[in-house]
Amino acid sequence: MQRTSHVMGALCDLARTKIDIIITQTRRGIGAALLAAGLIGASVFPAAAEELELEKDELTLGFIKLTDMAPLAIAYEQGFFEDEGLYVTLEAQANWKVLLDRVISGELDGAHMLAGQPLGATIGFGTEAHIITAFSMDLNGNGITVSNDVWAEMKKHLPMQDDGKPVHPIKADYLKPVIEQYQAEGKAFKMGMVFPVSTHNYELRYWLAAGGIKPGYYSADNITGQLDADVLLSVTPPPQMPATMEAGTIHGYCVGEPWNQQAVFKGIGVPVVTDYEIWKNNPEKVFGVSKEWAEKYPNTHLALVKALIRAAQWLDENNNANRAEAVRILSDSSYVGADEEVIANSMTGTFEYERGDKREVPDFNVFFRYFATYPYYSDAIWYLTQMRRWGQITEAKPDSWYEAVAKDVYRPDIYLEAAKMLVAEGKVRAEDFPWDTDGYRDPQTHFIDNITYDGRAPNAYLAKFPIGLQGDTASAPSDAMENAGEE
């Protein structure tokens, strides 16, 4: 599936030479039209398209086999990397730790990352290194799945629609009696998530806690995340989630697609809630590089961001018209390697819960609309609040600390510089970018527990939760509760 970029680049050179003048004139015309319409100011965009002098043009980028790696695959397959003079090799990685370690070591130039990875690494939770991101890869895209046995017990407590199907969203309140039964029988209830600083870990914890279930804490000397836990959470790589649940090692999991839909197709489990229902239009993955790499190769970094912006636009343009082609590309073993039907079940605007209960969820995967690719400081701060809530950040921090870390890791300045170049080149529209933002979204209200999040006030936000550490709480609960509920 992956094309030989060097050959394609050579074949394109002659044609590009002949049409450069025409393209430049066209791009200038577009810029002039925007100026005349009053949509942009004269000082915002370059007078003409700029050609970046790349410090490095042969790159190796990493990813995990999930549908939200799509911007990388599309940038490759549609020639957007080549358009920027980049010759890219995409490499699937075994797990998130290996991926991060290889970015830090320089074996990978950059990678598809969990949004929490650059933040966790920079503040020293786990492997310490300064990682930055100038591109958010997508919104939404995850789900929580439980085994058939757990689902059968949950259904006894669920309200039903007139057609006999469950009312959604399904809250963890309906899982709580199942967990209580396990505890009464002296059995541990176990669930999987993909990495300690993953969106999946925080979304699963958020959902459980909103239902009155304690998901456990981390502490300075205990990084299991299982202190005082009603549910024992542990790490499982995404592609292994269905098999691990089928084996009975875990009773459910939170993961990205296509591994929730895989459980449906294999008949081994039921997705009960999507992250769109937990937090509408939540930020998911990012493209990360080391700060050292970004400073050494600034133009190459800009070129990468430009190509990824175009890929994200392609994925969402014309009301997702390209999604069927994207599904075909992602199904190849070089990328996600799952059946087209499985990937399409969530990638094309629907989501199947229980077998046969397929519902319209047009924004389950969002790659470009709603300013999805812009790296908001407030997104970074939300992840930091969850690290503090569950004890990964062991001490209380002032609001100013959260903002400083966010601005150290998330780089909208680089993103907007790349976007300005694309507008000047006529490849994107100026109105598709939040030029005037201060980096903070307006307070967000669409959470499953109806708690409003304002990134400008992280400690006040933490104080709203009945379960979890408060901003001024010194430490996690005592290790005495560590083994509660274990077999």
Dihedral in degrees, nearest 10, Cα atoms 250, 335, 91, 242: 10
∠ CA(27), CA(30), CA(34), 5° rounding? 140
Same domain for 234 and 300: no
Distance CA 379, CA 248 (A): 35
- Report the pLDDT value the prediction gives residue 479, as an integer from 0 to 100: 46
Let me know: does 122 contact 148? Beta carbons within 8 Å.
no
More confident residue, 168 or 27: 168
- Report the pLDDT value the prediction gives residue 51, as an integer from 0 to 100: 83
Q: Which residues pair with 234 in a beta bridge?
A: 192
Question: What is the average per-residue pLDDT within 181-210?
Answer: 97
- Is 50 exceeded by the pLDDT of residue 284? yes
Domain extent, residue 105, equals 5-136+283-325+360-432
- Report the pLDDT value the prediction gives residue 482, as an integer from 0 to 100: 42
Q: Which of 359, 303, 373 is nearest to 168 (CA)?
A: 359
Domain-located, residue 195: yes
Q: Which of 132, 355, 396, 188 is nearest to 265 (CA)?
A: 355
- Is 60 exceeded by the pLDDT of residue 23? no
- Is 50 exceeded by the pLDDT of residue 25? no
- Is 60 exceeded by the pLDDT of residue 30? no
> Residue 144: helix, strand or coil by DSSP?
strand
Domain-located, residue 339: no
Q: Which residues pair with 271 in a beta bridge?
A: 145
Question: What is the average per-residue pLDDT within 215-234?
Answer: 97
Domain-located, residue 204: yes
Let me know: does 439 contact 411? Beta carbons within 8 Å.
no
- Is 50 exceeded by the pLDDT of residue 401? yes
Q: How do residues 50-83 score in pLDDT, each as one tens digit?
A: 689 999 999 999 999 999 999 999 999 999 999 9
283, amino acid identity: P
Domain-located, residue 352: no
Q: How do residues 333-349 score in pLDDT, each as one tens digit?
A: 999 999 999 999 999 99
Let me know: does 469 contact 476? Beta carbons within 8 Å.
yes
**Structure-token pair, residue 269:** 């489990």
Same domain for 294 and 428: yes
- Report the pLDDT value the prediction gives residue 13, as an integer from 0 to 100: 43
Distance CA 114, CA 100 (A): 10
Domain-located, residue 345: no
- Report the pLDDT value the prediction gives residue 138, as an integer from 0 to 100: 98
Same domain for 309 and 234: no
Distance CA 451, CA 382 (A): 13
Q: How do residues 225-234 score in pLDDT, each as one tens digit?
A: 999 999 999 9
Count of the separate structural domains present in the chain: 2
Question: What is the average per-residue pLDDT within 96-104?
Answer: 97
Distance CA 363, CA 333 (A): 26
- Report the pLDDT value the prediction gives residue 1, as an integer from 0 to 100: 54
When the pLDDT of each residue in the chain is averaged and rounded to a whole number, the result is 90
**Structure-token pair, residue 32:** 């002039």
CATH number at residue 269: 3.40.190.10
Let me know: does 303 contact 86? Beta carbons within 8 Å.
yes
Let me know: does 280 contact 268? Beta carbons within 8 Å.
no
Residue owning tokens 């903070």 = 440
- Report the pLDDT value the prediction gives residue 419, as an integer from 0 to 100: 98
- Is 90 exceeded by the pLDDT of residue 486? no
Question: What is the average per-residue pLDDT within 300-328?
Answer: 98
Q: 49: pLDDT confidence band, cut at 50, 70 and 90? A: low
> Residue 173: helix, strand or coil by DSSP?
helix
- Report the pLDDT value the prediction gives residue 127, as an integer from 0 to 100: 87
Same domain for 291 and 258: no
486, amino acid identity: E
Distance CA 475, CA 458 (A): 17
- Is 90 exceeded by the pLDDT of residue 241? yes
Same domain for 130 and 162: no
Q: Is the dihedral of CA 94, 95, 99, 101 positive or negative?
A: negative
> Residue 358: helix, strand or coil by DSSP?
strand
Dihedral in degrees, nearest 10, Cα atoms 364, 370, 376, 380: -20
Q: 215: pLDDT confidence band, cut at 50, 70 and 90? A: very high
Q: How do residues 430-465 score in pLDDT, each as one tens digit?
A: 999 999 999 999 999 999 999 999 999 999 999 999
Same domain for 184 and 87: no
Same domain for 80 and 50: yes
Same domain for 296 and 414: yes
Distance CA 13, CA 10 (A): 5
Q: How do residues 130-157 score in pLDDT, each as one tens digit?
A: 999 999 999 999 999 999 999 999 999 9
Same domain for 470 and 387: no
Same domain for 411 and 301: yes
Q: 47: pLDDT confidence band, cut at 50, 70 and 90? A: very low
Same domain for 23 and 88: yes
**Structure-token pair, residue 99:** 């991926």
Q: How do residues 353-384 score in pLDDT, each as one tens digit?
A: 999 999 999 999 999 999 999 999 999 999 99
Residue owning tokens 């309200």 = 159
> Residue 240: helix, strand or coil by DSSP?
helix
Question: What is the average per-residue pLDDT within 88-113?
Answer: 97
Give the contacts of 318 (CB within 8 A, at least 6 positions apart). Answer: none
Same domain for 178 and 148: yes
Distance CA 79, CA 369 (A): 21
- Is 90 exceeded by the pLDDT of residue 38? no
- Report the pLDDT value the prediction gives residue 16, as an integer from 0 to 100: 38
- Report the pLDDT value the prediction gives residue 124, as an integer from 0 to 100: 95
